[in-house]
């Protein structure tokens, strides 16, 4: 696989930029696409509107608290769609609430990661996500 296609669904421009920087410094080439709200994410995933030529991501990084359509709703739609349900969804949220964690897993998130507040810790978490999900895990898209 030449590059990993990552869809980052995040409304915080600072977190988008930090994530982009970490992934650009990674060992593998990543094709990072960003959706700034839940509605745009669904348009991207289902190739609607301005995203009619969007490619299916290999991994989704999803924030729960999004404008327009919540991250929970996005997760639910993804996992109910047979063509999209195989895409690993990593919930990357500032929440540490047990309810959010349990609900995410009930909606079939592949993992739940709490975003650290400190800059250095956030960078380390994104690096660890990249290391695990890109370097170690075999993705469904690699089987086609």
Q: Which domains does the chain have, with CATH numbers?
A: 4-143 (3.40.50.2300)
Segments of the chain assigned E as strands: 4-9, 30-35, 59-62, 89-93, 111-114
User: pLDDT by residue (tens digit) across 58-70?
Assistant: 999 999 999 999 9
Are the beta carbons of 73 and 91 closer than 8 angstroms?
no
Question: What are the pLDDT digits (tens) for 72-116?
Answer: 999 999 999 999 999 999 999 988 999 999 999 999 999 999 988
* Predicted TM-score (pTM) of this structure: 0.89
d(CA 55, CA 109): 21
HSE toward the beta carbon, residue 16, CA cutoff 13 A: 13
**Percent of the chain residues topping a pLDDT of 90:** 59
């Amino acid at each position: 696989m030449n590059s990993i296609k990552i869809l980052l669904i995040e409304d915080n421009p600072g977190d988008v930029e930090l994530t982009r920087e970490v992934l650009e410094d990674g060992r593998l080439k990543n094709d990072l696409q960003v959706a700034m709200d839940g509605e745009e994410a669904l348009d991207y995933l289902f190739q609607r509107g301005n995203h009619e030529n969007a490619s299916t991501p290999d991994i989704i990084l999803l924030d729960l608290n999004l404008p327009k359509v919540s991250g929970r709703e996005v997760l639910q739609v993804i996992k109910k769609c047979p063509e999209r349900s195989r895409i690993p969804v990593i919930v990357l949220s500032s929440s540490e609430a047990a309810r959010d964690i349990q609900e995410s897993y009930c909606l079939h998130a592949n993992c739940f990661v709490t975003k650290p507040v400190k800059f250095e810790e956030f960078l380390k978490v994104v690096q660890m996500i990249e290391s695990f999900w890109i370097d170690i895990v075999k993705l469904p898209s690699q089987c086609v």
